[in-house]
Amino acid sequence: MTLILVVDDEPGIRGSACLALEEAGFQTVAAASANEAKAVIGLTVPDIIVMDIRLPDTSGLDLAIRLQPTYPKIPVLFISAWMERLPPDVSLAPLHQAFLPKPYTNDALVEAVRILLAASARV
């Protein structure tokens, strides 16, 4: 079963995302911060990360950059309300990445996860 790490500091968004993904047949684990996410990844490596860009302890972008050398094949779906897309100066290649703006529907979240998983499987 595909394991998805959902990282968002807003409990309602985190819970809703986990529920939608679980109803779609995925297994989830949640974290409210970058530090919690690192602790989770230290115990079990997810197949994909769904992560807010703005987190209380460090940005989701910074966390993804730090994880990339050790976990270069984990795709990351960034979610955020504060911008329409990733900044052009952010280079996470070869990290597989996508962006989903908040607010999003549960269907859009599940579809974005499926597309990113399929794209990263082809590489």
How high is the pLDDT of residue 90?
59
How many residues would you count in the chain?
Answer: 123
> How many whole angstroms separate alpha carbon 35 and alpha carbon 14?
16
Query: Can you tell me whether residue 117 is helix, strand or coil?
Result: helix
> How many whole angstroms separate alpha carbon 48 and alpha carbon 5?
6
123 pLDDT higher than 60:
no
The arithmetic mean of pLDDT across residues 99-103, rounded, is 90
Task: Give the DSSP H or E segment for 51.
Answer: strand 48-52
How high is the pLDDT of residue 1?
92
More confident call, 38 vs 119: 38
Banded model confidence at residue 87, pLDDT cuts 50, 70, 90: low
Query: Can you tell me whether residue 14 is helix, strand or coil?
Result: helix
31 pLDDT higher than 60:
yes
Q: Say which range, 47-61, 63-77, 83-97, 106-120, has the weakest mean pLDDT.
A: 83-97
93 pLDDT higher than 70:
no
